[in-house]
């Protein structure tokens, strides 16, 4: 497919929109798609950075007079030109596309409708603000966001919400396997400070100055801030003056590896919040813009982070740091439960579903407490018990206790299979962690939906979402249908009743 990504970075917008789109773009290229960007040149843009990553960038019409945003929520000023000028400039340079991906708070429903008609393409919008769109697919990866918030005004779109779909670099899901077993706070914890690629209000320096107030509490610190930041030289000078406890890094290719070297983080909310959560890193968050308030409130509400406003850093940062040290394990567990780092793979699957009716005929989602009764019905069926490793039918109380525990276990995966046309739940597929990087798969289908290829498609979904782990399967020799299923799904037979699927990449 030909895919065009419309997004911007600037000293006012920051770098987050472009960076998350780059993660998606790189994954789409690996799938064989042709991907390009369309961006507006302006102070703080990342056009050359995107080109250095190997992507073509169409430069859109520039504003004759630069517009200064009146506040952090003045999104129209981010665009610098009227929306129609932007749309016309895009369509002048992009003659055709199969899919247009839009990640820009200033591009509205009118813009999407106009461009969609001109290019005759499908539209995928990445949003964080619960707006109305003319789109086929909408993603809002905000913590605690729910589909209903978008549904009323976006009824024709498939809507993905929550940090289950956070667009993280694949490195994070791989390094998470190490983080799951890293449950001890070191005697001398390291702190990572990352306020984004721009940090216009110079929060980085304010954090460092606050940490320097008490030499007895002063931790070992890594600062991540690149030359694009307007206050880069000032921060760099402070780090050099205090290099006995501060290390400064301009840029890192593998953010997951760097994060895993630290026990606590201090940073702005945004996509990096889900990166920290994926690796179980407790954090102090410092909101730098109005659009970060919802994320901040939700992270604090679920006790995953401590919020300190930029104006209160000198008075509140050290006490927040002490709280994280005291309750580190609790904050760690909460973060690990928020995000598993597989959102990119899930989003890629839904993009494929836009163009593949066969894929769209089976929905696979995380199980919830509302599924407990339905799963128990299946567990009690003779067809389910016939070839189960444990043939005994559980009591209702035993089942409730077991499934509630499974649903809250952030190390395992419990998926429900649904057929949208029939509006029916049709089965279960689970991955239970055995050891780092290795899982045991379990699958059963409602007997009413046998022989429809559902189990095979479910295993294909697992391959798509979980390509980097080893998967084991135990299948009784007498269960000929399941033996055939795993053989046809390219699992390697180890013995009469055991199979294995090594990592695919």
Check whether residue 91 and residue 209 sit in a common domain. no
Q: What is the sign of the dihedral through the CA atoms of 87, 93, 94 and 100?
A: negative
pLDDT above 90: residue 214: yes
User: How high is the pLDDT of residue 340?
Assistant: 97
Of the three residues 165, 191, 221, the one that is the final residue of a domain is: 165
Per-residue pLDDT band for 19 (boundaries 50, 70, 90) equals: very high
Q: What is the pLDDT of residue 422?
A: 86
Task: Please check whether residues 147 and 227 belong to one and the same domain.
Answer: no
How far is Cα 83 from Cα 134, in angstroms, rounded to an integer? 15
At residue 67 the predicted structure's pLDDT band, cuts being 50, 70 and 90, is confident
Mean of the pLDDT values across residues 77-96? 96
Nearest one of 315, 267, 301, 27 to 145, comparing CA atoms: 301
The answer to whether residue 194 scores a pLDDT higher than 90 is yes
* Residue 495 domain flag: yes
Please report, for the domain that includes residue 466, its CATH number: 3.40.630.30
Angle, helices 454-465 vs 480-488, to 10°: value is: 40
Q: Which domain holds residue 418?
A: 361-501
- Which alpha helices (DSSP H) does 242-327 contain, by range? 255-260, 271-278, 293-301, 313-326
Q: Is the pLDDT of residue 403 over 90?
A: yes
pLDDT of residue 495: 97
- Tell me the sheet residues that pair with 192: 222, 265
Whether residue 330 has pLDDT greater than 90: yes
Residue 350 belongs to a domain: no
Q: At residue 197, does pLDDT exceed 90? A: no
Domain co-membership, 318 together with 372:
no
Confidence of residue 88 (pLDDT cuts 50, 70, 90): very high
In this prediction, residue 328 carries a pLDDT of 98
Mean pLDDT over all residues of the chain? Answer: 95
The C-alpha atoms of residue 380 and residue 131 are separated, in whole angstroms, by: 44
Share of the chain above pLDDT 70, in %: 100
pLDDT of residue 71: 86
User: How high is the pLDDT of residue 73?
Assistant: 86
Q: Are 313 and 297 in contact (CB under 8 A)?
A: no
Q: What is the mean pLDDT of the segment spanning 448-468?
A: 96
Judging by DSSP bridges, how do beta strands 122-126 and 264-267 pair with one another?
Answer: unpaired
- Cα separation, 445 vs 451, in Å, equals 10
pLDDT of residue 476: 94
In three state form, how does the secondary structure of 386-412 look?
Answer: HCCCCCCCCCHHHHHHHHHHHHCCCCC
Give kind and range of the element (H or E) at residue 470. strand 470-474
Q: What mean pLDDT comes out for the span 254-270?
A: 95
pLDDT at 66 over 90: no
Residues 7 and 114 reside in one and the same domain: yes
Contact in structure between 415 and 367 (CB atoms under 8 Å): yes
389 part of a folded domain: yes
Mean pLDDT, range 55-69, rounded to an integer: 93
The model's confidence at residue 390, banded by pLDDT at 50, 70 and 90, is: confident
Banded pLDDT at 505 (limits 50, 70, 90): confident
Instruction: Tell me the average pLDDT across 146-172.
Output: 95
pLDDT band at 72 (very low <50, low <70, confident <90, very high): confident
DSSP H or E stretch at residue 79:
helix 75-79
The residue-averaged pLDDT of 54-66 equals 94
Residue 308 included in any domain: yes
User: Residues 161, 175: one domain?
Assistant: no
pLDDT score at 421: 86
Q: Both 149 and 207 in a single domain? A: no
pLDDT digits (tens, 9 = 90+) for 478-487: 999 999 999 9
Total domains in the chain come to: 3
Using an 8 Å Cβ cutoff, are 161 and 140 in contact? yes
**Pairing, β 305-307 against β 283-285:** parallel
Does the residue 256 lie in any domain?
A: yes
Question: For residue 429, is it within any domain?
Answer: yes
For the cut 90, the answer to whether the pLDDT of residue 56 exceeds it is: yes
Residues 328 and 279 in one domain: yes
Model confidence pLDDT, tens digit, residues 277-286: 999 999 999 9
Query: Closest by alpha carbon to 291, among 25, 8, 12, 84?
Result: 12
- Please, which pLDDT band fits residue 389 given cuts at 50, 70 and 90? confident
CB atoms within 10 A of CB 227: 10
Same structural domain for residues 267 and 292? yes
Question: 285 with 182, same domain?
Answer: yes
Query: What integer is the mean pLDDT of 350-358?
Result: 95
Distance CA 471, CA 458 (A): 14
Secondary structure (DSSP) of 317-332: HHHHHHHHHHTHHHHH
- Residue 155: the pLDDT is 87
φ, ψ for residue 131, nearest 5 deg: -105, 170
Q: What is the CATH number of the domain that holds 148?
A: 3.40.50.11190
With a CB cutoff of 8 Å and minimum separation 6, the contacts of 341 are 166, 168, 170, 172, 173, 176, 274, 278
The residue that leads in pLDDT, 197 or 445, is: 445
Residue 224: beta bridge partners?
194, 249
Q: State the average pLDDT over residues 224-241.
A: 96
Answer whether 344's CB lies under 8 Å from 170's CB: yes
**Average pLDDT for residues 156-179, to the nearest whole number?**
96
Q: Which residues contact 45 (CB under 8 A, 6 or more apart)?
A: 8, 9, 10, 39
Cβ proximity of 121 and 97 under 8 Å: yes
Mean pLDDT of 195-203: 92
- Residue 400: count of CB within 10 angstroms of its CB: 15
Token pair belonging to 43: 């102070």
**Co-location of 42 and 145 in the same domain:** yes
Q: Which of 165, 180, 204 is the last residue of a domain?
A: 165
């Amino acid at each position: 497919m030909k895919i065009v990504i419309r997004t911007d970075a600037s000293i006012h917008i920051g770098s987050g929109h472009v960076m998350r789109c780059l993660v998606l773009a790189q994954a789409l290229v690996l799938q064989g798609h042709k991907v390009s960007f369309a961006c507006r040149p302006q102070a703080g843009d990342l056009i050359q950075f995107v080109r250095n990553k190997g992507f073509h960038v169409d430069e859109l019409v520039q504003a004759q007079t630069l517009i200064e945003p009146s506040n952090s929520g003045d999104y129209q000023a981010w665009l610098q030109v009227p929306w129609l000028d932007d749309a016309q400039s895009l369509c002048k340079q992009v003659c055709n596309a199969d899919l247009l991906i839009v990640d820009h708070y200033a591009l509205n429903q009118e813009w999407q409708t106009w461009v969609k008609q001109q290019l005759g393409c499908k539209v995928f919008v990445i949003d964080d603000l619960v707006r109305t769109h003319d789109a086929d697919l909408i993603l809002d990866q905000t913590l605690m966001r729910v589909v209903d918030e978008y549904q009323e005004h976006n009824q024709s779109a498939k809507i993905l919400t929550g940090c289950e779909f956070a667009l993280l670099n694949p490195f994070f899901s791989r390094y998470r396997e190490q983080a799951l077993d890293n449950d001890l706070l070191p005697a001398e914890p390291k702190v990572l400070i990352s306020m984004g690629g721009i940090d216009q209000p110079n929060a980085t320096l304010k954090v460092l100055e606050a940490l320097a107030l008490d030499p007895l509490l002063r931790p070992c610190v890594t600062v991540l801030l690149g030359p694009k930041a307007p206050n880069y030289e000032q921060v760099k000078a402070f780090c050099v003056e205090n290099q006995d406890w501060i290390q400064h890094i301009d840029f890192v290719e593998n953010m997951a590896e760097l994060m895993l070297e630290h026990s606590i983080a201090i940073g702005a909310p945004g996509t990096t919040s889900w990166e920290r959560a994926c690796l179980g890193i407790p954090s102090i968050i410092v909101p730098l813009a109005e659009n970060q308030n919802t994320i901040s409130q939700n992270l604090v509400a679920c006790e995953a982070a401590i919020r300190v406003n930029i104006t209160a850093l000198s008075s509140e940062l050290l006490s927040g740091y002490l709280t994280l040290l005291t309750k580190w394990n609790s904050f760690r567990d909460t973060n690990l439960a928020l995000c598993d780092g597989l959102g990119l793979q899930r989003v890629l699957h839904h993009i494929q579903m836009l163009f593949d009716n066969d894929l769209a005929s089976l929905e696979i989602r995380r199980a919830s407490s509302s599924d407990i009764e339905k799963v128990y019905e299946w567990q009690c069926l003779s067809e389910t018990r016939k070839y189960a490793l444990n043939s005994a039918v559980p009591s209702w109380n035993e089942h409730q206790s077991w499934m509630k525990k499974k649903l809250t276990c952030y190390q395992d995966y419990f998926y429900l299979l649904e057929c949208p046309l029939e509006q029916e739940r049709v089965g279960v597929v689970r991955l239970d962690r055995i050891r780092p990087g290795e899982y045991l798969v379990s699958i059963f289908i409602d007997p009413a939906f046998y022989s429809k290829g559902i189990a095979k498609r479910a295993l294909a979904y697992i391959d798509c979402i979980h390509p980097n782990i080893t998967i084991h399967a135990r299948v009784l020799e007498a269960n000929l249908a399941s033996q055939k299923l795993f053989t046809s799904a390219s699992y390697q037979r180890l013995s009469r009743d055991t199979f294995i699927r090594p990592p695919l990449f």
